[in-house]
Amino acid sequence: MDTATAQPTTRRHDPRTLQAPANFPIRWEQPDDAKMYWELDLMHYPAPMAPLEFSLMLLYSHGFNTAAEQFELPVRMRNLHINTYSYQCIYPIALPPEGVLKMLNGIGRVFPGFTASIQKKAVDGQARKYLAKMTPFVDRLMEIWNNDWLPEIKEHLAFWDRFDLRSATTDALLKHFEESVQRSLRIGDIHFFIGIPQLYAISRYQDIYTDLFPGDHPLEAFTLLQGFDNKTLETDRELWRLSLAAASVPAVREVIVYADPANVLSRLKELPEAGEFLAALEAYLSEYGQRGDRFSTIGEVSWIENPAPVLKNLRDYLINPVPDPAEERIAHERARTEAVAAARARLKGYPKPVVEQFETALRAAQEGTILQEDHGFWIDYRCLYRLRRVVLEFGRRFAASGVCERNDDPFYLTIDELRETAAKLPAIDRRGLIARRREEEKRFASIKPPRAVGRLPLMPPPEADPVARTIVRFFGPSSAEQKDAACIRGTAGSTGVFRGTARVIRNLADASRLAPGEILVTETTAAPWTPLFATAGAVVTNTGGVLSHCALVAREYRIPAVVGTISATERIADGAQIEVDGNTGRVTLL
Amino acid sequence: MSRQTAHTRILWLGDEACGNPAISGGKAASLSRLASRFPVPAGFCLSADLLEALTDAGVVIDTAAELLGEAYLELARRAGCDDPRVAVRSSAADEDGLGLSFAGQYETLLNIGAGRLVHAVEQCIASGRSDRVGAYRQQHGRADQPVRMAVLVQHLVPADVAAVAFSANPVSGDREEVVINASWGLGESIVGGTVTPDTWIIRKADGMVMSTMIAEKQRMTVLTDHGTMEVDVPRIMRAQPALTEQQAAAIAELAIQLEEESGHAVDVECAFADNALSLLQCRPITTLA
């Protein structure tokens, strides 16, 4: 037997290199990037992003690294815009040389305990160091937010509000843009100064709760965090109040319920008796409407620009009145108070340092739960909305000069192209370039981007590392084992079991198809989606973990949720009958 | 009862008669002698003679239950709380003596409330007759002597951290240093060997901390409604030192003073509750080279 000729003559393919599909060719700008592991951030950006939106988002995500540096975390983050999608890589900064890792992996195959114990020792030592840095922030979250960060955010907001976009010269507008960029960098830092400790606070508490009460359902831990007011609940509650205003004027109610959604606003404006309601709607939108579909308000049409999502929810409330959310919250608060008292009673005979650690962790997690929503309201929505308005003002001027067609065209430019176009207005015609990029976005919007590209890491993020664990609990798993054709496994996000009709919803505009009592099945949800939770029967998402926004809000609304299924939107047909089991994290096709 | 002698009345820790091991047993006698100068939790002792008078075939008779109830109220007064939980321990005449430790051979019932006191005392008496103790006695050539067992009832320390301290290094035999083992919760997990405690080595001469080994403390004994149970320590606290440096220093000081008091190297069980140190047990180190 000639074994020599059996050897392949070409170099063997690296099994860790991920093959991108043919319709998703990747051109790596920096060759080394191909060696890293890039995951699609479907939770935040499930759809293509325009170039400028991506660049401006980088100002924010840069804050992750500022915060990681400050807290001495062993990880950093990078984002790449690949074929219009946002990929992110969270990578360790101090990894042993690849040779050592390979050796450890090899030993691990034979003696898994050995490699695991070496890894745990290294991880524990590292975690002790960074937790010493970060814990003082974690334990004073709300105080720091109220005393330092929120006042600073308000100062930044005031900066934007002081500036008169319409009457400024284009030079002044450019200067204003540059300062907006600088301020956004700082706001991005604040975003992660709060975001990382806030998520860790909840994750740390979850660990302590499950360690102390190992017999409890893991989600019981969250009962002790619920029923606090936050800006998301306030937004939903005010919308509910607005529905009462609409219900009190029969003609207004009539239009909202029966008119074609696209015409509701114009029809209302024709109604003499709608004046008071329209004023209330406008007040609502100016306070709460500085948000679009998802997490980023830069590239998304805000509720102020198009209030369709608000009108859809008003319609739902009018058709299917729900109880006063304020009262719901109070009931929820009562449940929390009882659960906290019960936990304290169970810990009565425990060492006081253990009880104190539990109390500290609980309080920080409660504050973290509030801040998860409130930081979004102030930073992700309000600040980014103002950045969007600056870009739209360029768009208005560009369109007026004929160098582009629509107000939102500048989103299809890079930051430098925007600067250049504005500085030389109207010399540079961008219409062709923008059309090409819009075309490209359309093409990639219709395909399914690979979940991950680049090269698989040698070692997965260590489970023993508290921050790695936090990140996984937030983003959810990157894969889910699916064995059974009739059953979709995900992460239990909010308890309860609900059977009903599935509505596979792609975006908020599409959400008008979700009737009250139906099950919301979607890629991800962000704060602007939460009014839907008031009328939905249950929610299922592809992305996210137990700490994701979706799971958190589902618990506040006490509807069952299964998150992080990876593929629910593909496997569940629109209109199908399904059972959502939020206790076990399973969705069954009936 | 005609006349109450030292043998047939309830003896309080700190009473002179309670310090006599022939009457109150080794453990109670040793704690009683230390009670005036060291932070020994309040407690009383039922001597072997008294137990004989109070029981019938190991069962506490009705009038004795009344007596116990009164003693419990007095304990509550001394402890300064309404419904103190107590530890009920055997205190045999030859236990905790200089020759043999009998450590862990007798029953200890922890976290007993007023309602279960009588039953706990009965269980404790029964343990003195158990095979386990008999075998130990036989093994150590004491089988011929009758068991003279008293029962000690002591205010329970709801320990945040428990420690065992040695006034000489029990491993190396070094008499110039104090070795402390400490862990979260009650001392049962350390004594029972279910947890690897933190180890502190402190030089006697100047109190200098020579070394600390902070262990991954997985288990702890906590109080339940009617007793104790061993549970997992939350992961985040496992590698945290159970003692502060000041606490470790206080324990070392206690061990040194007890050694001076006793005239020989000692093995000390103690605990912090609300940062107040209590002395739970003090025995000679029997194994020291």
Compare CB distances from B239 to A124, A208, A349 and report the shortest one's residue. A124
Q: With bands split at pLDDT 50, 70 and 90, how would you rate the model's confidence at B3? A: very low
In A, which residues are within 8 Å of B274 by CB distance? 352
Binary contact (B185, A214; C-beta < 8 A) = no
Interchain CB distance below 8 Å, B161 and A354:
no
Q: Is the pLDDT of residue A2 over 80?
A: no
Residues 156-185 of A with CB under 8 A from B: none
Could you tell me the pLDDT band of residue A293, with boundaries at 50, 70 and 90?
confident
Give A79 or A108, the one with higher predicted confidence.
Answer: A79
Contacts of A49 (CB under 8 A, 6+ apart): A57, A81, A84, A85, A86, A296, A299
pLDDT tens-digit readout, A248-274: 999 999 999 999 888 999 999 999 999
Q: Which of A507, A533, A537, A500 is nearest to A522 (CA)?
A: A507
A212: nearest CA partner in chain B:
B234
* Confidence (pLDDT) at A479: 73
pLDDT digits (tens, 9 = 90+) for A304-341: 999 998 998 999 899 988 889 999 899 999 999 999 99
| Residue A15 touches partner B, C-beta closer than 8 Å | no
Q: Mean pLDDT in chain A?
A: 91
Chain A residue closest in CA terms to B162: A351
Whether the per-residue pLDDT at A290 is higher than 50: the answer is yes
Kindly state whether B161 is in contact with chain A, defined as any CB-CB distance less than 8 angstroms.
yes
Mean pLDDT, residues B198-222 taken together: 96
Q: What is the pTM of this model?
A: 0.90
Report the distance separating Cα A176 and Cα A390, nearest Å.
8
Q: What mean pLDDT comes out for the span B109-126?
A: 89
β strands within chain B, DSSP E = 11-12, 43-46, 55-56, 59-60, 86-92, 108-112, 149-155, 161-166, 177-184, 198-203, 209-213, 219-224, 227-232, 266-273, 276-284
* Of A124 and A366, more confident: A366
Q: In chain B, whose CA is at the least distance from the CA of A209?
A: B234
**Closest approach of A130 to chain B, Cα-based (Å):** 14
* pLDDT bracket for residue B129 (50, 70, 90): low
pLDDT at B144: 53
**Sheet strands side by side (includes B276-284):** B209-213, B198-203, B177-184, B161-166, B266-273, B276-284
Confidence label for A559 from pLDDT (cuts 50, 70 and 90): very high
CA torsion angle A361 A366 A372 A374 (round to 10): -140
What was the ipTM of the complex prediction?
Answer: 0.88
CA of A259 vs chain B CAs: smallest distance (Å)? 57
Side-chain half-sphere of B239: how many Cα atoms within 13 Å? 10
**What is the rounded distance in angstroms from the CA atom of residue A182 to the CA atom of residue A184?**
5
Label residue B202 by pLDDT band (50, 70, 90).
very high
pLDDT tens-digit map of A567-587: 999 999 999 999 999 999 999
Residue A96: pLDDT band with limits 50, 70, 90: low
- Between A589 and A104, where is the model more confident? A589
Provide the number of CB pairs (under 8 Å) joining chain A to chain B: 55
Closest residue in A to B186 (Cα) is A351
Q: What is the pLDDT of residue B138?
A: 62
The number of residues in chain A equals 590
| DSSP letter for each residue of A24-75 | S----SSGGGGGSEEEE-TTT--S---HHHHHHHHHHHHHHHHHHHHTT-SE
Q: Which residue from A128, A212, A349 is facing B234, i.e. has the nearest CB?
A: A212
Chain A CB within 8 Å of residue B234 CB: yes
b/e code B242-277 from CB counts within 10 Å (16+ = b): bbeeebbbbbbbbbbbbbeebeebbbbbbbbbeeeb
| Nearest residue on chain B to A203, alpha-carbon basis | B236
Distance from CA of B174 to the nearest CA of A (A): 31
Q: From A355, which residue of chain B is nearest by alpha-carbon distance?
A: B160
Residue A489's pLDDT is 93
The residue among A181, A216, A227, A208 whose CA lies nearest residue A56 is A181
Residue A486: pLDDT band (50, 70, 90) is confident
The predicted-structure confidence for B45-89, as pLDDT tens digits, reads as follows 998 888 888 877 777 777 778 888 999 999 999 988 888 999 999
| Residues of A in Cβ contact (< 8 Å) with B159 | 351
Q: How confident is the model at residue B132 (pLDDT cuts 50, 70, 90)?
A: low
Which of B 70-129 lie inside 8 A of A, CB atoms?
111
Any chain A CB within 8 A of the CB of B160? yes
Residue in B233, B236, B274 to test binding to A, most A beta-carbons within 10 Å: B236
**Residue B100 corresponds to which tokens in the numbers above?**
């043999």
Cα separations in angstroms, A525 against A512, A551, B46: 15, 9, 69
Band of the pLDDT at B134, cuts 50, 70, 90? low
| The token pair that represents A444 in the structure block | 């990639």
pLDDT for residue B133: 55
Contact with chain B for residue A204, Cβ under 8 A: yes
Among residues A576, A61, A561, the alpha carbon closest in space to that of A298 is found at A61
* For residues A41-53, average pLDDT: 90
Mean pLDDT, range A371-391, rounded to an integer = 94
A11 at the B interface (CB within 8 A)? no
Is the omega angle on the peptide bond into residue A426 within 30 degrees of 0, that is, cis? yes
Residue in the structure block whose two tokens are 């890491």: A457
Contacts of B160 in chain A (CB under 8 A): 351-353
Q: Does A66 touch chain B (CB under 8 A)?
A: no
Q: Which residues have C-beta within 8 Å of that of residue B119, sequence separation ≥ 6?
A: none
- Does the pLDDT value for residue A10 go beyond 90? no
Measured between beta carbons, which residues in chain B are less than 8 angstroms from residue A351? 159-161, 184-185, 220, 222
Higher pLDDT, A510 or A166: A166
What percent of chain B lies above the pLDDT cut of 70?
84
Q: Residue A5: pLDDT above 50? A: no
Give the pLDDT score at B289: 57
Facing A349 at nearest CB: one of B158, B161, B232: B158
Confidence class for position B94, pLDDT limits 50, 70, 90: low
Inter-residue contact A197 to A177 (CB < 8 Å):
no
Cα-Cα-Cα-Cα torsion B58, B61, B66, B68, nearest 10 degrees, comes to -10
Q: For A349, which of B223, B234, B236 is closest by C-beta distance?
A: B223
| A109 and B CB contact within 8 Å | no
Q: Which residue of A has its CA nearest to B275?
A: A352
Q: Which pLDDT value is given to residue A234?
A: 94
Mean pLDDT to the nearest integer, B225-253: 95
pLDDT at position A297: 67
Q: What is the mean pLDDT of residues A471-481?
A: 82
Q: Quick one: DSSP state of residue A4?
A: G
Whether residue A348 lies within 8 A of chain B, CB to CB, comes out as yes
Q: Determine how many CB atoms are found less than 10 A away from the CB of residue A424.
A: 10
For residue B238, the Cα-to-chain-centroid distance in whole angstroms is 25
Residues 6+ apart with CB under 8 A from B236: A204, A207, A208, A211, A357, A361
Task: Give the pLDDT confidence score for residue B102 in this predicted structure.
Answer: 45
Inspect the interface and report whether the beta carbons of B236 and A204 lie closer than 8 Å.
yes
Coil, helix or strand at residue A455: strand
Identify the CA nearest to A561 among candidates A545, A573, A577: A545
